[in-house]
Structure 1
Amino acid sequence: MGKAGKALKRVLEIYDITQNRLAVVMGVNRSSVFGWVNEIADPPGDTVVKIRKALQEIEPAAAEVFVRLFWEDLEEDKQP
């Protein structure tokens, strides 16, 4: 659990984006973003795409870093 959450937490910190701002742009409750960032719940796959799109709207570089960090975490899990 938490691949997207870990990546999202780092990106929000790096780019000084608040959970509330992301929630507003995505049209979701801030509690949902809080849950993802704190690895309480994983966002579904389609929501990961929506996170990337919202980050793209807020700060394009943040979206790129989010995707890179998310995929790096997935790749590390595949390593023996």
Structure 2
Amino acid sequence: MGRAGYALKTVLETYDISQNKLATLLGVRRSVVFRWFHEQRDPTAETVSEIVKALNSVNPEAAQEFVKLYLGELIKPEDLEG
């Protein structure tokens, strides 16, 4: 699977955000987040955007870290500001 699962797992563990919390914020079943977390499935591009918004509502630093891990070198940190 892609980078989304790795990025999501890293961010949720680092910022102590539960899979259940993210699932609730996204309005999906916890099993959906579980599959992303364990890299069994990848979220759609639209869902990645929703993940960033949900993480931002809990911890803006977590959202930035997710984007950084997911997009890697494609985006600069200053592009995330503002």
Fold in common (TM above 0.5):
yes
CA–CA distance in structure 2, aligned partners of residues 54 and 73 of structure 1: 23
Tell me if the contact between 1:3 and 1:73 (Cα under 8 Å) persists in the aligned partners: no
1:1-80 equivalent positions in 2, closer than 5 A: 1-72=1-72
Task: Kindly report structure 1 stretches of 4+ aligned residues shifted beyond 3 Å.
Answer: none
> 5+ unaligned residues in a row in structure 1: which ranges?
75-80
CA–CA distance in structure 1, aligned partners of residues 73 and 37 of structure 2: 15
One-letter amino acid of the structure 1 residue matched with residue 7 of structure 2: A
> 5+ unaligned residues in a row in structure 2: which ranges?
75-82
CA–CA distance in structure 1, aligned partners of residues 55 and 16 of structure 2: 12
Number of corresponding residues: 75
One-letter amino acid of the structure 2 residue matched with residue 39 of structure 1: E
- Counterpart in 1 of 2:77? none
The Cα RMSD (Å) is 1.6
Q: Work out the percentage of aligned pairs sharing the same amino acid.
A: 54
One-letter amino acid of the structure 2 residue matched with residue 68 of structure 1: K
